Structure 1
Amino acid sequence: MKNRYLFAFAQVHEEFRIPELQSVAELHNIDLAIPENVDVSRPFMILELDTEEQARILASRCILIKWVCDFYAQGRTYEEVHQQTRANISKYSQYIENTSFKFIVTAYNHSVPQSRQRQVVESFSYMALLGKIDMKTPDVTFMCFEEYIDKHGRTREKLEGDGEFRQVFFGRLIAEGTARPLVNKFDVKKRSYFGNTSMDAEVSLLMANQTLASPGKLVYDPFIGTGSLAYVSAHFGAFVYGSDIDGRQMRGKEEVPGIRRAAAQYEVADRIVDLSTFDVTQNPWRCGDLFDAIITDPPYGVRAGAKRLGRKKPTKKGIVEHTTGAPRPDGQPYIPPTKPYELSELAVDLILLARHMLRPGGRLVFFLPTVNEDYTEVDVQSMLCDGMKVIANSLQDFGSWGRRLITVRKTSTESYPRPSFASFANAEDSGTPQEDHVPAHKDFREKYFRGFKRDDEQAP
């Protein structure tokens, strides 16, 4: 028989919460059923698990979990909570004799005054706990969570509305979210090497959880940049391989490459397998089915545009075309030309590459920026090819636009040929009629810099 547990979450990246729970549960083979129609705008969730140990595992890995409690009661009033708690004496009867304890009374969107905290604690006197009160190292901690509606954005008295909560929850603390401190550990501002495109630490950790990063896994970032996603994946035990078309991002300006220096700071340098400079569409991979996961934040042109090898314009007649390794007349090393890599083409190519490079069951996790007003589900579905399935799609909303964290699983056990990277022009490769649909992320860079105004809204 399953037990019920109360989860309290940090109220950030709400849409990422359920995919993260499901991913960590899958990683540890935990049978987790998420209730339908969960309101992620509220920080509390009651879930059923087989054991307390499973609750502790989730709290130790999920970045968004703050506390997990053995659930005792909930209600709109303390009278309802007391009634349910009295009926569940079996939950706490073992703690009545000789067990040190303490109570914590806290609230969401409110600060409970100390005087009322005392009143709340005293109202549980019927539990008849005989052990001593120990506020530092108790054997057991009981927690009351009061949930208030959001009152931010308006002036109010400090204790206005105290006691007028929408719901109160009560339970025994099992574990605190020990993964949340990792957000501070991987804070970009404290990193020895980072650039203007470095990924936020909290989001990086959420992405790593989506890849199921763990000891023995091999993870690849084809747009590694300054390595934000590599460090967190390696922290969870995975081996990481990275590549980028611009080697300067990976190296930095010092003798030891920047990514190597930052990896040493996090004590994961031995898990960075290698770093290479190449265009992902001209990659050197000679076989597929190699990686357990691909994790990346493709450049989409706001701070740094995506590039691929090639010329923007055809070479003029009579001009000699140089190639890599060939000497130039001026004696300088040859630097191959690059051209813009349109986002909608990049996204399709990335999924095709993942189908070729991932092992069966492997995951591709990447961000896709999109115009919120124009977005439809078919934007993502139209990128898919045979053997690949979207299992999570979470929005980080910035107002007019947002970026979606897309998780795609390779569902096929087949080995697929290396893609031609012809993108939209090659419907055979993609398996979908790409040209029949124009996604909201197409030409995203141009839309961003014109303020997402439509053509008919532009100034004359």
Structure 2
Amino acid sequence: MRRFIFVFSQVHAGFRHAEMESICNLYGIPCDNNISLLCNQQHVYVFEFPSVDNVILILSRSVLIKTVIRPTNLLPYAYGLSEENATALLFKDIGKALDFKESPVDLTSPCNTFYVIEDYGSNSLQKLHFGKLIGCGQGQLKNDYSLADRCYIGNTTIDPELSFLQVNIAKVDIGSLVLDPFCGTGGLLIAAAHFGAAVLGSEINYQIARAVGRSSRAGVECNTAKESVVANFQQYGTDVYFMGLVIADSSQHLLWRPGTHSGTFPVFDAIITDPPYGVRERGQKVGIKEKKESWIIKNAQQ
């Protein structure tokens, strides 16, 4: 087993364990037992994995891991470094003279990157970590799929970072069949399609499903003909994974229910959703209402 230093983002810390465990299970990677110790206060952890390839697979999915380095040394901060003292990095040759040939300097895309990580506890430096960079997580996805740049959004379109986090926890992968029964403008399905899943949604609100009516953008009165759920997938080049949107009441349709119209086993590999709630997006149902007396105009002339 090899040791690796994981540096986590400081947002959504409560989901670190769930995401890490799900990604490991998805790729059949043995989980370090210390993963269960992930907490909100600490952001740097040392985990053991069989190989670098395992870590690269984890980094290819995780949105909560910032960077991973392979440590060359792990020291407690037990000696007197001070901010007031000058610091130098010296190379000493023993038994052979150092070669002073200059190598090319590339700060944009270097072949080797080394990190020095200072791990602070309660306002004091606890440990120094030094090692070679293995890679970075997928935190840039929240910018690549920013709602500010998305073609079509609704009042409560889910945050991109949360959508990718939810997809990771659901273990969505290439070839998965995914349903969102409250898909809205398709925020969660877009994240699932990014990883190669075939996606299908259902939505009860005709105006949201067809992108008609008032726009959710500030300063914009109505949606345009260019805005649609399909246009969102086309924007990111994942429309080939979008199977369609069913306008239906999710409390009534039988899309996911085994043993009825779907056969004797589940159809979908994952069902991920962000149900409507609150004032801006109230829950809705479709059905026949009981007739009320106030609806009938008595003695009305034909």
TM-score by length of 2: 0.80
Instruction: Find out whether 1:122 has 2:99 as its counterpart.
Output: no
Instruction: Find out whether 1:216 has 2:214 as its counterpart.
Output: no
**Does the 8 A contact of 2:152 with 2:227 survive in 1?**
no
2:145 counterpart letter in structure 1: F
- Please point out which of 222, 232, 240 is paired with 1:262: 232
Instruction: Find out whether 1:237 has 2:183 as its counterpart.
Output: no
* Cα shift readout 1:411-459 (whole Å, capped 9, x = no counterpart): xxxxxxxxxxxxxxxxxxxxxxxxxxxxxxxxxxxxxxxxxxxxxxxxx
Cα distance, 1:176 vs structure 2: 2.1
Greater relative contact order structure (CA < 8 Å, 6+ sep): 2
Describe the SS at the equivalent of 2:40.
coil
Correspondence for 2:37: 37
Q: Number of residues paired by the alignment? A: 271
1:251 counterpart letter in structure 2: R
Instruction: Find out whether 1:195 has 2:182 as its counterpart.
Output: no
Cα 1:225/1:44, change in 2 over 3 Å: same
Correspondence for 2:132: 172
- Please point out which of 180, 184, 207 is paired with 1:225: 184
- Please point out which of 270, 291, 302 is paired with 1:315: 291
Aligned mates of 1:196, 1:127 — CA distance in 2:
64
Aligned mates of 1:130, 1:148 — CA distance in 2:
37
Deviates more, 1:39-48 or 1:210-219: 39-48
* Cα shift readout 1:137-196 (whole Å, capped 9, x = no counterpart): 544322110123577xxxxxxxxxxxx52322122111122x121110111111011011
* Cα shift readout 1:7-37 (whole Å, capped 9, x = no counterpart): 1111111011111111111111111224143
2:192 counterpart letter in structure 1: S
Gapped regions of structure 2 (runs ≥ 5): 213-223, 256-260, 297-302
**Does the 8 A contact of 2:203 with 2:249 survive in 1?**
yes
* 1:66-105 alignment runs, 5 A limit: 66-77=66-77, 79=79
Instruction: Find out whether 1:141 has 2:140 as its counterpart.
Output: no
* Cα shift readout 1:371-400 (whole Å, capped 9, x = no counterpart): xxxxxxxxxxxxxxxxxxxxxxxxxxxxxx
Q: Which has the larger helix fraction?
A: 1
1:145 counterpart letter in structure 2: I
Cα 1:283/1:22, change in 2 over 3 Å: same
- Please point out which of 241, 248, 252 is paired with 1:271: 241
**Does the 8 A contact of 1:227 with 1:250 survive in 2?**
no
Correspondence for 1:306: 283
2:132 counterpart letter in structure 1: R
- Please point out which of 291, 308, 332 is paired with 2:268: 291
**Does the 8 A contact of 1:76 with 1:165 survive in 2?**
no
Aligned mates of 1:127, 1:202 — CA distance in 2:
48
**Does the 8 A contact of 2:13 with 2:39 survive in 1?**
no
Cα distance, 1:284 vs structure 2: 4.6
- Please point out which of 281, 289, 292 is paired with 2:251: 281
Aligned mates of 1:277, 1:203 — CA distance in 2:
25
**Does the 8 A contact of 1:69 with 1:171 survive in 2?**
yes
Correspondence for 2:8: 9
Describe the SS at the equivalent of 2:47.
strand
Aligned mates of 1:20, 1:75 — CA distance in 2:
29
2:118 counterpart letter in structure 1: E
Describe the SS at the equivalent of 1:67.
strand
After TM superposition, the runs of 4+ consecutive aligned structure 1 residues lying more than 4 A away are 126-133, 254-257, 317-320
Aligned mates of 2:2, 2:93 — CA distance in 1:
21
Cα 1:122/1:284, change in 2 over 3 Å: same
**Does the 8 A contact of 1:234 with 1:240 survive in 2?**
yes
Correspondence for 1:57: 57
Cα distance, 1:316 vs structure 2: 2.4
Correspondence for 1:370: none
Cα 1:126/1:290, change in 2 over 3 Å: farther
1:11 counterpart letter in structure 2: Q
Aligned mates of 2:39, 2:249 — CA distance in 1:
43
2:74 counterpart letter in structure 1: Q
* Cα shift readout 1:90-148 (whole Å, capped 9, x = no counterpart): xxxxxxxxxxxxxxxxxxxxxx98x97x82x616x369886756353544322110123
Describe the SS at the equivalent of 2:276.
coil
Aligned mates of 1:38, 1:209 — CA distance in 2:
17
Correspondence for 2:25: 26
Aligned mates of 1:291, 1:15 — CA distance in 2:
27
Correspondence for 2:219: none
Cα 1:314/1:27, change in 2 over 3 Å: same
Cα 1:273/1:257, change in 2 over 3 Å: farther
Cα distance, 1:38 vs structure 2: 3.3
**Does the 8 A contact of 2:16 with 2:38 survive in 1?**
no
Aligned mates of 1:41, 1:212 — CA distance in 2:
26
